């Protein structure tokens, strides 16, 4: 029976060629920039005890049951492929006994995440995130710095001018409770005009109505109260300090009182870097302050702030594909010159020059191969050359060719 061809599992894809180069370029830039801010890179497991994520999500509705890749392992434990990495980093902080000293700790990570969702533009079931967290810092400068690091990454990638930082505060617990009450009162008063989805949100997660896409909802949202009047003086001062630091750091910001977070451990700063170039999936980097999460993982109160960004989305925004490296092709004219060619190839590599030697074919074949791999130059070794201790250095762009000693060829190719 003809079985269906093997293909990648829905929502997964291979990163090959240009796709991988884009991915690598984004991660490398993020690693470099966060390094400049003193972040250290962590690699935590890509699967965790399901409780790690269940706790971070609290009782949040169907997210836990419907959108996580969970399974029972052979020991009977419930395991979940990480849907994000903040919870894992907080768990690691606690598990490794790092909550008592050397705080704040600044952590960078990059790696695959898994969510059981319907794929759409820039959104896959296995996707990749980079993220930065500052653990154990209650000061607004931490918020500002972690955001600035994110901004610098976007700048380094050359995509910052299509992106704007939208920022809001959720205040402290007291501010939030008061605001939530006011919000519920407002939406309840307009309940009949709300969309069906938003009526459900009103019961489950009223703050989410603020970013409803329904046009009717938006009119009601427009007249909804903002959090500002409900902020305690301390919360208000905190937000003002974050904004001031961001200004000093040179990060252009736009306050957006509609940015919210659904989960209880979030407080104070909430932000999103947003672009209009990716259709419905416009958020390119998002984060906030989460003062309660480390406690959920069984550690002491550890105020923290951070963000995560989808590598696929950042990759799509790159204007140009990072160039593939251009090797030097070493070409023996016949098998007799292979030993000499192999040695020359190794000399090039030892000198830091990317070099390849074709495994088969006559001179014509190997030249074609050199062209196909995008070689910038070919080093041709024939009977005469080997006998006379020289090599033909052919510039494959210019089409020029010089007969010179191997050492000189290597020296030229380094430059």
Partner RNA sequence: GCGGUCGUAGCUCAGCUGGUAGAGCGCCAGGUUGUGGUCUUGGAUGUCGCGGGUUCGAGCCCCGUCGAUCGCCCCA
Binding-site members for L-histidine are 84-86, 115, 129, 133, 261, 265-266
Give yes or no for residue 264 binding RNA (CB under 7 A).
Answer: no
Q: What is the DSSP letter of 120?
A: B
Q: What is the CA radius of gyration of the chain?
A: 28
Q: How far is the CB of 383 from RNA (least distance, A)?
A: 5
| Touching RNA, residues 60-89 (CB under 7 A) | 60-61, 63-64, 67-68, 83-84, 86-87
Give yes or no for residue 120 binding RNA (CB under 7 A).
Answer: yes
Which residue, 337, 331, 346, is CA-closest to 386? Answer: 337
Helix (H) or strand (E) holding 248: helix 233-249
Which residue, 379, 375, 389, 374, is CA-closest to 333? Answer: 379
Binding mask 207-246 for RNA (x = CB under 7 A): -x--xxxx--------------------------------
Among 14, 192, 276, 397, binds RNA (CB under 7 A): 397
Q: Which is nearer to RNA, 74 or 203 (CB)?
A: 203
For the chain, the maximum distance between any two Cα atoms, rounded to a whole number of angstroms, is 94
Q: How far is the CB of 98 from RNA (least distance, A)?
A: 21
Which neighbouring-strand residues pair with 357?
Answer: 330
| Touching RNA, residues 127-156 (CB under 7 A) | none
Q: How far is the CB of 7 from RNA (least distance, A)?
A: 6
β-strands 40-41, 105-114 pairing: parallel
Show the tokens assigned to 241: 């300090």
Show the tokens assigned to 251: 């990060």
User: Going along 126-200, which residue ranges are E strands?
Assistant: 126-135, 163-169
Which neighbouring-strand residues pair with 307?
Answer: 132, 287
| Residue that the structure tokens 């700048």 belong to | 155
**Cα(382)–Cα(174) distance, rounded to whole angstroms?**
82
Among 382, 406, 409, 410, binds RNA (CB under 7 A): 382
Give yes or no for residue 378 binding RNA (CB under 7 A).
Answer: yes
Q: Which is nearer to RNA, 120 or 321 (CB)?
A: 120
111 φ/ψ sector (left φ>0, alpha ψ -120 to 50, else beta): left
Give yes or no for residue 304 binding RNA (CB under 7 A).
Answer: no
Tell me, by CB under 7 A, how many residues bind RNA.
65
**Cα(378)–Cα(333) distance, rounded to whole angstroms?**
12
Q: Which is nearer to RNA, 50 or 226 (CB)?
A: 50
| Residue that the structure tokens 């919000």 belong to | 183
β-strands 70-72, 283-290 pairing: unpaired
| Touching RNA, residues 312-341 (CB under 7 A) | 333
Q: How far is the CB of 280 from RNA (least distance, A)?
A: 3
Q: How far is the CB of 248 from RNA (least distance, A)?
A: 27
φ, ψ for residue 303 (rounded to 5)? -60, 135
Helices 140-156, 18-36: crossing angle, 10 deg rounding: 140
Give yes or no for residue 286 binding RNA (CB under 7 A).
Answer: yes
Residues belonging to the binding site are: 84-86, 115, 129, 133, 261, 265-266
Q: Which is nearer to RNA, 28 or 72 (CB)?
A: 72
Helices 406-414, 338-350: crossing angle, 10 deg rounding: 40
Among 74, 254, 360, 372, binds RNA (CB under 7 A): 372
Buried b or exposed e, range 290-314, using 16+ CB within 10 angstroms: bbbbbebbebeebbbbbbbbbbbbb
Are the C-beta atoms of residues 307 and 286 closer than 8 Å to each other?
yes
| Residue that the structure tokens 């690598």 belong to | 24
Q: How far is the CB of 250 from RNA (least distance, A)?
A: 26
Among 35, 38, 78, 121, binds RNA (CB under 7 A): 121
Q: Which is nearer to RNA, 74 or 359 (CB)?
A: 359
Give yes or no for residue 202 binding RNA (CB under 7 A).
Answer: no
Candidate ranges 42-50, 144-152, 203-211, 244-252; the one touching RNA (CB under 7 A): 203-211
Which residue, 288, 290, 253, is CA-closest to 269? Answer: 288
Among 18, 77, 174, 383, binds RNA (CB under 7 A): 383
Candidate ranges 8-16, 32-40, 186-194, 226-234; the one touching RNA (CB under 7 A): 8-16
Q: Which is nearer to RNA, 248 or 371 (CB)?
A: 371
Binding site for RNA (CB under 7 A): 2, 4-5, 7-11, 53, 56-57, 60-61, 63-64, 67-68, 83-84, 86-87, 115, 117-121, 197, 200-201, 205, 208, 211-214, 261-263, 279-281, 286, 333, 362-364, 367-368, 370-372, 378, 380, 382-385, 392, 394, 396-399, 401
């Amino acid at each position: 029976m003809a079985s269906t061809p093997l293909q990648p599992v829905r929502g997964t894809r291979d990163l090959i060629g240009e796709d991988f180069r884009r991915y690598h370029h984004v991660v490398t830039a993020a690693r470099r920039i966060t390094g400049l801010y003193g972040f250290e890179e962590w690699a935590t497991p890509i699967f965790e005890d399901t409780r790690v994520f269940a706790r971070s999500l609290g009782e949040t509705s169907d997210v836990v049951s419907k959108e996580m890749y969970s399974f029972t392992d052979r020991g009977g434990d419930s395991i979940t492929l990480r849907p994000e990495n903040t919870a894992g980093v907080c768990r690691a902080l606690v598990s490794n006994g790092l909550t008592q000293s050397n705080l704040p700790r600044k952590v960078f990570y990059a790696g695959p995440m898994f969510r059981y969702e319907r794929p759409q533009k820039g959104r896959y079931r296995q996707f990749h995130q980079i993220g930065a967290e500052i653990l154990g810092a209650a000061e607004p400068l931490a918020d500002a710095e972690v955001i600035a690091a994110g901004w610098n990454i976007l700048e380094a990638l050359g995509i910052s001018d299509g992106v704007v930082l939208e920022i809001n505060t959720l205040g402290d617990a007291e501010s939030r409770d008061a605001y939530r009450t006011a919000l519920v009162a407002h939406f309840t008063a307009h309940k009949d005009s709300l969309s069906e989805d938003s009526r459900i949100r009103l019961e489950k997660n009223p703050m989410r109505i603020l970013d409803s896409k329904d046009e009717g909802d938006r009119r009601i949202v427009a007249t909804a109260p903002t959090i500002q009047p409900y902020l305690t003086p301390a919360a208000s001062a905190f937000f003002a300090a974050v904004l001031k630091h961001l200004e000093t750091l040179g990060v252009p910001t736009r306050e957006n009182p509609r940015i919210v977070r659904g989960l209880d451990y979030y407080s104070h700063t909430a932000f999103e870097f947003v672009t209009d170039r990716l259709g419905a999936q416009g958020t390119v980097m998002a984060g906030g302050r989460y003062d309660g999460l480390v406690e959920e993982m069984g550690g002491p109160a550890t105020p923290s702030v951070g963000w995560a960004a989808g590598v696929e989305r950042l990759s799509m925004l790159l204007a140009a594909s990072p160039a593939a490296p251009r090797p030097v092709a070493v070409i023996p004219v016949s098998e007799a010159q292979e030993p000499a060619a192999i040695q020359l190839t190794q000399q090039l590599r030892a000198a830091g020059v990317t070099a390849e030697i074709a495994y088969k074919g006559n001179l014509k074949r190997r030249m074609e191969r050199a062209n196909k791999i995008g070689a910038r130059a070919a080093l041709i070794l024939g009977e005469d050359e080997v006998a006379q201790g020289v090599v033909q250095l052919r510039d494959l762009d210019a089409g020029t060719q010089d007969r010179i000693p191997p050492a000189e060829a290597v020296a030229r190719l380094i430059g």
